[in-house]
Structure 1
Amino acid sequence: MSIYVGNLAYNVTQDDLSEVFAEYGTVRRVYLPTDRESGRPRGFGFVEMSSDEEEDAAIQELDGAEWLGRSLKVNKARPRDGGSGGGGRRN
Protein backbone atom coordinates (compact mmCIF):
# COMPACT_ATOMS: atom_id res chain seq x y z
CA MET A 1 0.00 0.00 0.00
CA SER A 2 1.09 3.59 -0.27
CA ILE A 3 0.39 6.92 1.39
CA TYR A 4 -1.18 9.90 -0.37
CA VAL A 5 0.37 13.24 0.65
CA GLY A 6 -1.57 16.31 -0.45
CA ASN A 7 -1.26 20.08 -0.21
CA LEU A 8 2.48 20.00 -0.79
CA ALA A 9 4.46 23.13 -1.58
CA TYR A 10 5.38 23.12 -5.27
CA ASN A 11 9.11 23.27 -4.53
CA VAL A 12 9.15 20.02 -2.50
CA THR A 13 11.48 17.35 -3.87
CA GLN A 14 11.41 13.56 -3.55
CA ASP A 15 14.40 13.83 -1.19
CA ASP A 16 12.54 16.36 1.02
CA LEU A 17 9.53 14.08 1.32
CA SER A 18 11.67 11.00 1.90
CA GLU A 19 13.52 12.76 4.71
CA VAL A 20 10.29 13.69 6.52
CA PHE A 21 8.79 10.20 6.24
CA ALA A 22 12.07 8.49 7.21
CA GLU A 23 11.42 9.67 10.77
CA TYR A 24 8.65 7.03 10.90
CA GLY A 25 10.43 4.10 9.22
CA THR A 26 12.06 2.94 6.02
CA VAL A 27 10.93 4.78 2.90
CA ARG A 28 10.88 2.45 -0.09
CA ARG A 29 9.63 4.84 -2.77
CA VAL A 30 8.51 8.45 -3.27
CA TYR A 31 6.59 9.62 -6.33
CA LEU A 32 5.74 13.24 -7.11
CA PRO A 33 3.51 13.50 -10.21
CA THR A 34 4.11 16.39 -12.59
CA ASP A 35 1.79 18.16 -14.98
CA ARG A 36 2.07 16.60 -18.45
CA GLU A 37 2.13 19.89 -20.29
CA SER A 38 4.12 22.20 -18.01
CA GLY A 39 6.28 19.61 -16.25
CA ARG A 40 5.62 21.36 -12.93
CA PRO A 41 4.78 19.46 -9.73
CA ARG A 42 1.07 18.98 -9.07
CA GLY A 43 1.17 19.60 -5.30
CA PHE A 44 0.71 16.03 -4.13
CA GLY A 45 2.69 12.80 -3.98
CA PHE A 46 2.83 9.20 -2.84
CA VAL A 47 5.13 7.51 -0.34
CA GLU A 48 5.64 3.77 0.13
CA MET A 49 7.11 2.52 3.39
CA SER A 50 8.36 -0.90 4.49
CA SER A 51 5.40 -1.84 6.66
CA ASP A 52 1.78 -0.98 7.35
CA GLU A 53 2.75 -0.07 10.91
CA GLU A 54 5.25 2.52 9.66
CA GLU A 55 2.69 3.93 7.24
CA ASP A 56 0.06 4.14 9.97
CA ALA A 57 2.47 5.96 12.30
CA ALA A 58 3.41 8.47 9.58
CA ILE A 59 -0.25 9.10 8.71
CA GLN A 60 -1.20 9.61 12.35
CA GLU A 61 1.63 12.08 12.97
CA LEU A 62 1.69 13.98 9.68
CA ASP A 63 -1.98 14.37 8.69
CA GLY A 64 -2.81 18.01 9.40
CA ALA A 65 0.79 18.89 10.32
CA GLU A 66 2.17 22.15 9.00
CA TRP A 67 5.21 21.79 6.73
CA LEU A 68 6.73 24.56 4.63
CA GLY A 69 3.77 26.81 5.39
CA ARG A 70 1.09 24.29 4.35
CA SER A 71 -1.18 21.96 6.28
CA LEU A 72 -0.51 18.45 4.95
CA LYS A 73 -3.26 16.01 4.00
CA VAL A 74 -1.91 12.50 4.61
CA ASN A 75 -3.89 9.26 4.28
CA LYS A 76 -3.85 5.78 2.75
CA ALA A 77 -3.78 6.08 -1.02
CA ARG A 78 -6.88 4.75 -2.74
CA PRO A 79 -6.50 2.56 -5.81
CA ARG A 80 -7.02 4.33 -9.13
CA ASP A 81 -10.60 4.06 -10.30
CA GLY A 82 -9.96 3.50 -13.99
CA GLY A 83 -11.09 6.87 -15.29
CA SER A 84 -14.13 8.03 -13.39
CA GLY A 85 -12.40 11.38 -12.93
CA GLY A 86 -12.25 11.22 -9.16
CA GLY A 87 -15.19 11.79 -6.96
CA GLY A 88 -16.00 11.16 -3.36
CA ARG A 89 -14.74 8.59 -0.96
CA ARG A 90 -16.51 5.25 -0.97
CA ASN A 91 -17.62 3.73 2.32
Structure 2
Amino acid sequence: MADQNDVKDRAEEAAPSDKLFVGGLAWAATDDDLQGAFEPYGEIVEAVVIRYPDTGRSKGYGFVQFTSVEQAEKAKEELDGKEIVGRAVKVNFAHKKERSENR
Protein backbone atom coordinates (compact mmCIF):
# COMPACT_ATOMS: atom_id res chain seq x y z
CA MET A 1 0.00 0.00 0.00
CA ALA A 2 1.41 3.42 -0.97
CA ASP A 3 1.83 5.94 1.79
CA GLN A 4 1.07 9.64 1.43
CA ASN A 5 4.71 10.50 0.57
CA ASP A 6 4.67 7.99 -2.31
CA VAL A 7 1.52 9.64 -3.64
CA LYS A 8 3.16 13.07 -3.45
CA ASP A 9 6.31 11.83 -5.19
CA ARG A 10 4.34 10.32 -8.06
CA ALA A 11 2.29 13.50 -8.48
CA GLU A 12 5.45 15.64 -8.66
CA GLU A 13 6.79 13.53 -11.53
CA ALA A 14 3.58 13.54 -13.59
CA ALA A 15 3.28 15.07 -17.05
CA PRO A 16 0.75 17.87 -17.65
CA SER A 17 -2.83 16.62 -17.60
CA ASP A 18 -6.34 17.90 -16.90
CA LYS A 19 -6.21 16.44 -13.35
CA LEU A 20 -4.38 18.06 -10.45
CA PHE A 21 -3.11 16.61 -7.18
CA VAL A 22 -3.64 19.00 -4.24
CA GLY A 23 -1.53 18.13 -1.18
CA GLY A 24 -1.21 19.65 2.27
CA LEU A 25 -4.94 20.28 2.66
CA ALA A 26 -6.32 21.29 6.03
CA TRP A 27 -8.16 18.43 7.74
CA ALA A 28 -11.32 20.56 7.61
CA ALA A 29 -11.15 21.13 3.83
CA THR A 30 -14.18 19.86 1.89
CA ASP A 31 -14.94 19.04 -1.73
CA ASP A 32 -16.78 22.38 -1.91
CA ASP A 33 -13.67 24.22 -0.64
CA LEU A 34 -11.62 22.69 -3.47
CA GLN A 35 -14.31 23.49 -6.01
CA GLY A 36 -14.49 27.10 -4.82
CA ALA A 37 -10.72 27.62 -4.89
CA PHE A 38 -10.22 26.13 -8.36
CA GLU A 39 -13.34 27.12 -10.30
CA PRO A 40 -12.08 30.62 -11.23
CA TYR A 41 -9.54 28.87 -13.49
CA GLY A 42 -11.94 26.84 -15.60
CA GLU A 43 -14.73 24.30 -15.81
CA ILE A 44 -14.32 21.59 -13.18
CA VAL A 45 -15.32 17.99 -13.87
CA GLU A 46 -14.64 16.82 -10.30
CA ALA A 47 -13.15 18.15 -7.05
CA VAL A 48 -12.69 15.63 -4.27
CA VAL A 49 -10.90 15.45 -0.91
CA ILE A 50 -9.64 11.90 -0.32
CA ARG A 51 -10.89 10.41 2.95
CA TYR A 52 -10.31 7.28 5.01
CA PRO A 53 -13.28 5.00 4.30
CA ASP A 54 -13.64 3.78 7.88
CA THR A 55 -13.58 7.18 9.63
CA GLY A 56 -14.39 9.71 6.90
CA ARG A 57 -11.38 11.75 8.07
CA SER A 58 -9.44 13.62 5.39
CA LYS A 59 -6.12 12.14 4.26
CA GLY A 60 -4.86 15.70 3.66
CA TYR A 61 -4.93 15.61 -0.12
CA GLY A 62 -7.37 15.64 -2.99
CA PHE A 63 -7.80 15.91 -6.74
CA VAL A 64 -9.34 18.47 -9.07
CA GLN A 65 -10.11 17.60 -12.69
CA PHE A 66 -10.71 20.26 -15.34
CA THR A 67 -12.17 19.93 -18.84
CA SER A 68 -8.79 20.85 -20.40
CA VAL A 69 -5.07 20.63 -19.72
CA GLU A 70 -4.74 24.40 -20.29
CA GLN A 71 -7.17 25.17 -17.46
CA ALA A 72 -5.33 22.79 -15.13
CA GLU A 73 -1.97 24.38 -16.03
CA LYS A 74 -3.31 27.86 -15.20
CA ALA A 75 -4.76 26.68 -11.87
CA LYS A 76 -1.49 24.94 -10.97
CA GLU A 77 0.54 28.08 -11.72
CA GLU A 78 -1.79 30.31 -9.70
CA LEU A 79 -2.58 28.11 -6.69
CA ASP A 80 0.63 26.16 -5.96
CA GLY A 81 1.80 27.42 -2.56
CA LYS A 82 -1.37 29.44 -1.92
CA GLU A 83 -3.67 28.96 1.07
CA ILE A 84 -6.88 26.96 0.94
CA VAL A 85 -8.80 26.81 4.23
CA GLY A 86 -5.84 28.35 6.05
CA ARG A 87 -3.06 26.03 4.79
CA ALA A 88 -0.59 26.47 1.95
CA VAL A 89 -1.13 23.67 -0.54
CA LYS A 90 1.11 21.92 -3.05
CA VAL A 91 -0.48 21.63 -6.50
CA ASN A 92 0.93 19.28 -9.13
CA PHE A 93 -0.34 17.37 -12.11
CA ALA A 94 -1.82 14.05 -11.01
CA HIS A 95 -0.14 10.86 -12.11
CA LYS A 96 -2.39 8.41 -13.95
CA LYS A 97 -3.32 5.65 -11.50
CA GLU A 98 -2.28 2.20 -12.61
CA ARG A 99 -4.96 -0.37 -11.92
CA SER A 100 -3.92 -3.34 -9.83
CA GLU A 101 -4.87 -6.80 -11.08
CA ASN A 102 -5.97 -7.64 -7.52
CA ARG A 103 -9.02 -5.38 -7.81
The TM tier, using the shorter chain, reads 0.7 to 0.9
Name the residue aligned to 1:10. Answer: 27
Q: How does 1:50-61 map to 2 (within 5 A)?
A: 50-61=67-78
CA contact (8 A) 2:22 2:90 kept: yes
Per-residue CA shift, 1:35-76, capped at 9, x if unaligned? 133221111000001111100000000011123321110010
1:2 to partner: Cα distance: 0.9
* Unaligned ranges ≥5, structure 2: 1-17
* Corresponding residue of 1:88: none
Given the two structures, how large is their TM-score scaled by the length of structure 1?
0.81
Q: Flag structure 1 segments of 5+ consecutive residues without an equivalent.
A: 84-91
Q: How many residues align?
A: 83
Higher helix share: 2
Show the counterpart of 1:36: 53
Tell me which stretches of 4 or more aligned residues in structure 1 moved more than 4 Å: none
Kindly report the root-mean-square deviation, in angstroms, between the aligned alpha carbons of the 2 structures: 1.5
